[in-house]
């Protein structure tokens, strides 16, 4: 029986997960932090019309800054304040010197401590662990922030390692990101070829992973389907229906 169990475990695919928008509900948690900042920093007095307006302009500015960051045209320190500066400008609000930096610090003091997860996260991870899967996180987020998120949501115990673009010094979908993560995970060449990567970004979590020979599962709650993805799921529990074997 022991030999049979060992053989069964060896047939399971190693699993890498993205974090934001895949396990950790970035949109909900970010908006909770933005709401707190709107109140604490009294943004209405600066000319921001209301909370929905603030969230809308911040999210657009944040998307822009992250695109610049992924392309290597903006560094981490600049991103943290610049997104708030752009959001204030879009709202037609006053932007006193030093305020964007203060807003960035406030956001980082609140956002990582929010605990909303994508529905089914804990149950799915529990089941995959019980089946014997080895699991890691590979994320483009900032090192200290991503670890805080995972610790505060009790995600850390499910994973053998958490690899961020900060720690790897390279971002998905650069092929080196996947190779370095696998190397640090101690995967053999054979295990590397059997990895399944799960994430919400078609470019970073699916196509980039498939470029190095992994299989990509596109987490797409909206129902969008791209034929180039190995598999697509609309909810995390659907992962349990896939053949996640080596």
Q: Report whether pLDDT(9) > 70.
A: no
Cα separation values, 226 from 133, 217, 232, Å: 26, 11, 8
Last residue of a domain, one of 83, 98, 113: 113
User: Are 12 and 133 within one domain?
Assistant: yes
Low-confidence winner among 70-79, 191-200, 209-218, 226-235 (lowest mean pLDDT):
70-79
Q: Report whether pLDDT(2) > 70.
A: no
Q: How many CB atoms lie within 10 A of CB 10?
A: 12
Q: pLDDT for 80-97, tens place per residue?
A: 999 999 999 999 999 999
Q: What is the pTM of this model?
A: 0.92
Q: Is residue 246 part of a domain?
A: no
For residues 217-236, give the mean pLDDT: 97
| pLDDT of 163 | 98
The domain spanning residue 66 has which CATH number? 1.10.150.240
Q: Report whether pLDDT(136) > 50.
A: yes
Q: pLDDT for 158-195, tens place per residue?
A: 999 999 999 999 999 999 999 999 999 999 999 999 99
| pLDDT of 43 | 97
Average pLDDT of the chain, as a whole number: 94
Cα separation values, 136 from 23, 30, 145, 197, Å: 12, 23, 17, 10
| pLDDT of 70 | 86
Last residue of a domain, one of 83, 113, 143: 113
Cα separation values, 3 from 9, 10, 14, 131, 177, Å: 10, 11, 20, 16, 35
Structural domains counted in the chain:
2
């Amino acid at each position: 029986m022991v030999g049979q169990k060992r053989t069964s475990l060896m047939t399971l695919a190693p699993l890498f997960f993205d974090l934001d928008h895949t396990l950790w509900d970035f949109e909900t948690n970010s908006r909770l932090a933005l709401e707190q900042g709107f109140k604490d920093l009294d943004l209405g007095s600066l000319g921001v019309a209301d909370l929905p307006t603030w969230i809308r302009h911040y999210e657009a500015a944040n998307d822009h800054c992250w695109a610049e960051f992924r392309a290597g045209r903006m560094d981490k320190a600049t991103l943290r304040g610049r997104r708030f500066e752009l959001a204030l400008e879009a709202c037609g609000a006053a932007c006193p010197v030093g305020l964007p930096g203060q807003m960035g610090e406030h956001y980082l003091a609140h956002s990582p401590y929010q605990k909303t997860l994508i529905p089914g996260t804990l149950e799915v991870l529990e089941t995959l662990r019980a089946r014997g899967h080895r699991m890691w996180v590979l994320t483009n987020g900032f090192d200290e922030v991503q670890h805080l998120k995972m610790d505060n949501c009790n995600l850390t115990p499910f994973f053998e390692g958490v690899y961020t673009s900060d720690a790897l010094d390279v971002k998905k979908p650069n092929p080196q990101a996947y190779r370095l993560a696998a190397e640090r995970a101690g995967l053999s060449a054979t295990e590397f070829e059997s990895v399944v990567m799960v994430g919400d970004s078609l470019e970073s979590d699916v196509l980039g992973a498939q470029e190095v020979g992994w299989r990509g599962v596109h987490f797409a709650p909206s129902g969008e389907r791209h034929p180039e993805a190995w598999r697509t799921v609309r909810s995390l529990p659907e992962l349990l229906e896939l053949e996640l074997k080596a």
